[in-house]
Each structure stands twice: as structure tokens, then as C-alpha cells.
A and B are shown apart, each in its own frame.
Chain A
Amino acid sequence: MEAAVLTHEHGHAVAHAADHTHEHHEPSFIRKYLFSTDHKTIAKQFLTTSMFFLLVGGAFALFIRWQLAYPGEPIPIIGSWLPDSLVSNGAIQPGFYTQLVTMHATVMIFFVIIPMATGAFANFCIPLMIGTDDMAMPIVNMMSFWLVPVAGLTIMAGFFVEGGTAAAGWTNYPPLSASGMGHTLWVIGVFLVGFSSILGGMNYVTTVLNKRAKGMRMFDMPMTVWALFITAILQTLGTPVLAADAVLLFVDQVFHAGIFIPENLLTPNGGLFPNGANVGTGGGGQPVLWQHLFWFYSHPAVYIMILPIMGVVSDVLATFARKPIYGYKAMVFAIMAIAFLGFVVWGHHMFLSGMSPLLGTTFMLSTIVIAVPSSIKIFNWLGTIWRGDIHFTTPNLNALGFISTFVCGGLSGVFMAIGPIDVYIHDTYFIVAHIHYVLFGGALFGIFAGIYYWFPKMFGKMYNESMGKFHFVTTFITFNLCFFPMHMIGVGGHMRRIHDPYVYEFLKPFQPINQFITIFAILLGFAQLILIFNLIWSVKFGRPAPRNPWRANTLEWAAPAHPGHGNFDRDITVYRGPYEFASPESKRDYLPQWIRPAHVEQETVAKH
């Protein structure tokens, strides 16, 4: 039995056997695909939702790029479809531009990267990788998913209300964000998506602590699970602060309480609020308070977006270098250190918001310290692939792409951490380049690596390798050509959010660079269609996947090729760590966690 289950060719047959046991209570379509409590279905729901939002957010980005490259010229094809409130003769109006900037970031952060990392991957990987049947609280898990589309629709509804959707940037600083229906919808949407994040987080922490397979100690967990576990702690402790912040902004927007709006704030039309209500009778509000509470969440949120990806990349690199991860415990402690430091550095987003220089220095030092655990991780990834038997599969190419771009983004981050330098580059395209190197180059390449890596287990089919490689190569080249020049125009003084930069004489020479960036941004956008085509095509026509296509050691590969409800067709006991590649105990180059020590020798003989 033990050997038969492990033999790849039999994987599919066993999968059918596993499905057979669950035939008796086939759930209805609604229970199975809409309100499912199965963690794998919820993971797929998260994946498809965030893929959809990835296209939406990407389209917003291309509008922004079009305007910067060819300001005042009509958007090709789509321009004529948009209403006159947004475009004039097909060209983007300033108001619409700020809405696009805001919504691009909001969608990409709250509805693409976070649901992808902590929704899709956490849901799919945690139960399978710790060898259990489902999450600890399946119904809470279902709620956590369904809040995301509701929140997404709430925020998107902003496009159809008077005054348009939120337009104060994704950070939504008051007093600019303290009026208008679009901002209120934004706040409600963020509250809902935050609630989803909290419910998810508490579920993941409970599952990891309580549902590990027999014999699995905390330090037998794969890096992906460790990273998701620590991320879940960040989610449960950070997100509620944003929720409280959102509630207070809501109170300011609806009741004009003056929590964030300063006293007697006047605008050209006489007052901030169209109905003549004025704030200031009850003492002045504190706009910087919003920023403190916002960044208290949103800096840890940066790590919510990147830590799970670091875990995924660790697993992918070790598997395809056929080597144990270098410094496993150091990697775990580095994640913990990053997570802890992530909570005490939020002030570095606010060097220009008015802050005691002493406090600024504290935030500067704590921020620079993060470079230490981050460097440990980079060093250990390089140590992992060093002299390894590297297989250049699509997941591994994406993981290697992650390292190279993340190093670049990490280094530009150190620039910003230094207060005096940040004063110069704050709110320029240098920041835009940095955030895209860590969030697109970092998080999204890691997400691609994870999608390709677990695709066989998720859908029971293999993706198309050539298409996958083509997608990686085109994405990697266009990504760098698109985002690298942004560093240069940023240092040259190009502002971060500006409708028409060429009103300034000194920015006019940057127009050719902006056009260059835009061309590659469009190519980058269209390159993602390859990914989507590959996934859809492979789900339908892909080659059936074997049980353990990557010859990996972690528990998800002990499950049938396309696991049904309940995941495993055998009892799972863990006998060793997750990275026993090239182990002297076994004649093969890998030794899965679930193989009984007594079977190791027999296993190897049977194989050769």
C-alpha cells in the first residue's frame, strides 16, 4: 500500500478510489461551488476572484500609463465607450485620473495580492501541507471568502455614484477623503475586506496550532505554512486597527464629527461639505491620526503581502534545487523578526507628515534593521540553490525572478528608510518603482510560482510548460523595462500622482521615457493573458497530473492527484522534516515526510 500510493503512475487510480468513498452524499451545485466549506474550493474561489480583479486593476494601470505617455489624447478604442463625466473627447479628465490611481492601488492590494496570498494559498496549502482534512472552522472560512466579492462590489459601486469613486489615493488621507459618497463606499469596502482578513487569520492560526498531522512538530512544517501562520498573526492583530480607523473616518464623513478634519477647514467653495455643515464647533480633528492608525495596519500589510510569498518561494526553490532549504530555523526566525519589526516601523511612511525628528530617527533605525532578517532570507535562498541540481521549470523560473526583483526592490527600500533621502524622493516615481519591484516583481512573481507549483494538485492537471515559460520570459522582460526607468524619472522629480506632468517644464524631457514605459506596460498587461489562457486551457485539456509531479517531500503530495473532500486517502504520520532532499538515508534524491523509516529501504528498491 505504502509503495503503491507513492508510485506516480498509480496516482490517478487511487484518486478515483478516494472519490468513490464520497459518492454517497454528493452536494448540490450551490453547496459544491458557491457556498462550499471545502478549503480547496474556497481557495479556487479566492484565486478566480483575485484573477478577475487582477485584470480590472491592470486595466486601470494601463489607463494611467496612457495618460502619462500621451496626455490629452483619446484612449484607443475604449475612450469612446466611457461617459463624458470621466473623459472629454475620449481623453482622461483629471478627476478620473485620480480615481484611477486610487482604484488601481486599492484593487491590487486589497483584492488581488492579499486575497491571493492569504486567501488562495493559505486556504489551499495549510490543510494539505499539515496533513489534515480541512480548516478548523470551515463555515468561518466560507464567510471569509464571501466578504471579499461583497467588499469589491461596494468599492466598485463608487464609479456609479455622484462625484465618482474614491480619489484620494489608496491611503485615503483626510481631509481630502472626508467627503463624498465614493469615499464612504471605499471605507465600507475596506472594513468588509478587513473583516474577511481577520476571520481568515484566526482560522489559519487555529488550524496550524490544532490540526497538524500526527508526528508533525512546529519545526516540521514547510516554510509556506510557517510564513502563512505568522502572516495570519499579523492579519489578526493589524487589520482591526485599520477597521477602527475606517469606522472613525466613516463617522467623520457622515456626521462631520471632526475626528480627522481640522478645525474650520475651508476650501474654495466655502466649506468642505456641500451642504454647508462646518466642522470646528467641537474642537479640531487630527488628520495625522488617520495616517498613524492607517500605517499601523498598512505597514504590516506590506508583510502580509510578501511573507506568504517568501514561504512559497522557499518551498519551490528547495524542491527544484533538490537540496534542503539552507538554514531552515534561521528562515523561520527571520520571518518572525520581520513580522515583529513590521509593527514598529509604520512612521517611515510619514517622514513628511510632520513628525519630531527624534521619532523620525527611531523609525528610520527600526526600518533599516528590517534589512537584516530580509538579508538572511535572501542569503539562505541563494544558499539553497548554491550548487544545487537546478531544474528550470516554470515555478522555479518565477521563484528565481522573485529573488532578483525582490533584491532590487529591497535595496531601493533602504533609500526610502533613510529620512533625509526620503525627503527628496518622497511621492515621486522612485516610490512607484520601489513598490512595484516588491509587490509586482516580488509578490506577483511568487504568486505565479505558487500557482504553477500547486496547479497540478489544485486541478489534477498539468499546466502547459512551454506556455508557462513563455509567460515568465515575456513578463520578466517587460516588467523590468516597464518599471526600472521609473527609478530614473523619480529621481528626476517626476511626481507620483499627477494628471499631466508636462505642465512642468522640467518634466517635459521625460515624455519619451514615459512613452517607453507605457509600451512595455501594455505588453506586460497582455502577457498576463498568456497565464490566464494557460490556466483555463490546462484545466480543460491538460495532461492528467501524477500524485507527486515535482518529487517533493511535503504532505500535499501524499494526497491523491486531485484530492476530493477530506483530502487524503490514507492516514498521515510525519516522520521527518519537509526538506529531506539528497538524504543519505534514501537512494532517491528525496525522502517525503510521510514515509515510515522502516519503508525507506524497501521504497528505494521498489523504485529502481
Chain B
Amino acid sequence: MSALSLAHEPVTGIRHGKLGMWIFLASEVMFFSGFFTAFIILRNANLSVFAHGATELNWPLAALNTVNLIVSSLTMAMSILSLENGDKGKFQLYLGITFLCACGFLVIKYIEYTTKFSHGIYPGTSSFFGLYFTMTGFHAIHVIGGMIPIGWMLAKSFTKRGYADTGRVEILGLYWHFVDLVWIFLFPVLYLIF
């Protein structure tokens, strides 16, 4: 029997992983929507608690983190372009900056969390902080979830064989921009609305 050609090109012309990622991101939107819905309902029920809670948060640090993530999104996009142009050095540089930005984000998050704990503020303090720790916590888990493949690709690119799967980096980029976007919503909702 000769080889079969059942596994042909994707019908839509979009790689399986990329299409799957878009659908996964739609699912993620619904996941975070659940939290945002809870936030809106509880905020309307407990306006004073929520306004007071937001004043306890460190908005300048969060603003720094916002810049941090936006830069990482930019470098992520540039690393994809560099890889497409076959510029290995720039790919490593930009992906490296993305990874460092993610590390920086987590460090700032860690500082924020430990400061809260030292002030005796925990998820059980109020419904505001319950939501604050849940939403930012799940966002941080997503950041870590993105850092693992970024680190893996970066490490792979330093090996002899290198890394050249532009498609995969692009799929990772989609995910990374989404994680960035979630933060763009979290930042004003949690930190800036008093």
C-alpha cells in the first residue's frame, strides 16, 4: 500500500495550533468574563468596600507593570518578525527581553502581594480582596504559563539545531498578547476605579 495523503493542508489555510489557540483564547475570554461579572455585581452591592479596597492598592507599581507587559508584547511581536527575516540574533534578543519583562512583572507582583500580607490583607479580608487576589493570581498563572514555552524556545535557539518554527512563535505570541490584554482590563478595573 502506498502512503496516503489524508493528512493534507489545513482546509482553512490556518495551522491547527493557531486555530486551536484562537478558540482557546475565546474560551479564556469567557473565563475572565466570569470574574469581571462577579466584580461588577459585588461592586454595585458593596460600593464603599470596593472603593476603600482600591485605595489600598499600589497603583504606581501596577502602572509600571502595565508598561512592562506592553513592552514585552512589543518585543514578542518583534521577535516573530526577526525570526521570519531569519535574524537569529535579534530573535534571541527580543524573546530574551520578553522573558525578562515577564520575570519583572512577577517580581513586582510578588512585592505587591507580600506588602499586602504584611499589612494583614488576605483574600479573606473582603470580597474586594477575594476578587483582587483571584483575578491577579490567575493572570499571574497565565504569565507563568507563557514563560515556560518562551524559555523553552529561547533555550532551544541556543542549541546547535536552533529554533526556526515561526508558526509556533506566532501562536505563542497570540497567547502572550492575550495575557497582556487581560492585564490592560485588570489594571483600570482593580487599581484606578475608586
Query: Is A182 located at the chain interface by the 8 A CB criterion?
Result: no
B126–A281 contact, CB under 8 A?
A: yes
Q: Is the CB of A247 within 8 A of B138?
A: yes
List the B side residues contacting A210 at CB < 8 Å. 10-12, 14, 16, 19
Which residues of chain B are near A240, meaning CB under 8 Å? 27-28, 30-31, 34
Name A123-152 residues within 8 Å CB distance of B.
Answer: 131-133, 136-137, 140
Beyond A257-B127, A257-B130, 15 additional contacts (C-beta under 8 Å) are A210-B12, A210-B14, A236-B24, A236-B26, A237-B26, A238-B30, A240-B30, A247-B35, A248-B131, A251-B123, A255-B130, A282-B126, A289-B41, A566-B6, A571-B6
Binds A, one of B42-50, B149-157, B185-193: B42-50
Q: Does A21 contact B (CB under 8 A)?
A: yes
**A286 part of interface (Cβ distance < 8 Å):** yes
CB within 8 Å of B: which A428-468 residues: none
Please state if B1 and A259 are interface contacts (CB–CB under 8 Å).
Answer: no
Contact between chains at A243 and B31 (CB < 8 Å): yes
Task: Please name all residues of chain A whose beta carbon is closer than 8 Å to the beta carbon of B128 when the two chains form the complex.
Answer: 282-283
B38→A17 contact, CB < 8 A: no
Task: Known A237-B30, A566-B4; judge A284-B46 contact (CB<8 A).
Answer: yes
| Among A132, A236, A240, A293: residue with most chain B CB under 10 A | A240
Residues of A within 8 A of B133 (CB): 251
Q: Are B30 and A247 in contact (CB under 8 A)?
A: no
In the complex, chain B residues whose CB is within 8 Å of the CB of A237: 26-27, 30
Q: What's the Cα separation between A255 and B125 when bound, in Å?
A: 8
Contact for B134 among A206, A247, A569, CB less than 8 A: A247
Q: Name which of A114-122, A197-205, A515-523, A579-587 contacts chain B.
A: A197-205
Residue A241 CB within 8 A of the other chain: yes
For chain B, the count of residues having a C-beta within 8 Å of the partner chain is 48
Residue ID in chain A nearest B32 by CB atoms: A244
7 pairs from A and B in contact (CB 8 Å cutoff): A205-B23, A209-B12, A236-B24, A256-B124, A282-B53, A282-B127, A292-B37
Residues of A within 8 A of B (CB): 17-18, 20-21, 131-133, 136-137, 140, 198, 201-203, 205-206, 209-214, 236-241, 243-245, 247-248, 251-252, 255-259, 277, 281-286, 289, 292-293, 566-572
CB distance from B15 to the nearest CB of A (A): 8
Give the distance to chain B from A135, nearest Cβ to Cβ, in Å. Answer: 9
A202-B23 contact given A283-B45, A289-B38, A572-B6, CB 8 Å threshold: yes
Interface contact A209-B4, CB-CB below 8 Å: no
Given A247-B134, A286-B42, is A257 in contact with B123 using a C-beta cutoff of 8 Å?
Answer: yes
Residues of chain A contacted by B46 (CB below 8 angstroms): 282-284
Within 8 A of A (CB), among B42-73: 42, 45-46, 48-50, 53
Taking a contact as CB atoms closer than 8 A, the residue among A137, A284, A568 that contacts B17 in the complex is A137
Closest A residue to B131 by beta carbon equals A259
CB contacts (< 8 Å) of B105 on chain A: these are none
Q: Using Cβ atoms and an 8 Å threshold, which residues of chain B touch A251?
A: 123, 130, 133-134
Given contacts A241-B33, A286-B42, contact A570 B4 (CB under 8 A): yes
Find chain B residues with CB under 8 A from A214 CB. Answer: 8
**Residues A202 and B20 in contact, CB atoms below 8 Å apart:** yes
Tell me the smallest distance from the CB of A47 to a CB of chain B, in Å.
24
- Tell me which residues across on chain B come within 8 A of A132, comparing CB atoms: 6-7
**In the complex, chain B residues whose CB is within 8 Å of the CB of A203:** 20
| A282 partner, pick from B12, B129, B134, beta carbons under 8 A | B129
Residue contact A568 to B4, C-beta cutoff 8 Å: yes
Task: Kindly identify which residue among B7, B27, B37, B131 contacts A236, using a CB–CB cutoff of 8 Å.
Answer: B27
Residues of A within 8 A of B7 (CB): 132-133
Give the residues in chain B near A289, CB-CB below 8 Å: 37-38, 41-42
Contacts of A17 in B (CB 8 A): 1
The answer to whether B5 has its CB under 8 Å from any CB of chain A is yes
Q: Is there a chain A Cβ closer than 8 Å to B163's Cβ?
A: no
Name the A residues within 8 Å of B26 (CB-CB): 236-237
Question: Is B23 within 8 A of A282, CB to CB?
Answer: no
Whether B11 contacts A211 by the Cβ 8 Å rule is yes
Return the CB mask of B93-137 against A: 1 if under 8 Å, else 0. Answer: 000000000000000000000000000001111111111011000
Q: Give Cα A395–Cα B33 distance, bound, in whole angstroms.
A: 42
Name the contact of B6 in the complex, choosing from A21, A133, A245, A292 (C-beta under 8 A).
A133
Question: Contacts of B14 on A, CB cut-off 8 Å?
Answer: 210
**Which residues of the other chain, A, contact B126 by a CB distance below 8 angstroms?**
257-258, 281-283
Chain A: CB-nearest residue to B122: A255
Q: How far in angstroms is the closest Cβ of chain B from A24?
A: 13
Residue pair A21, B34 in contact (C-beta under 8 Å):
no
The answer to whether residues A277 and B124 also contact, given A17-B1, A137-B16 and a CB cut-off of 8 A, is yes
Sorted nearest first, the 3 A-B pairs with minimum C-beta distance are: A282-B126, A257-B130, A244-B34
Q: Determine how close the nearest CB of chain A comes to the CB of B164; give it in whole angstroms.
A: 21
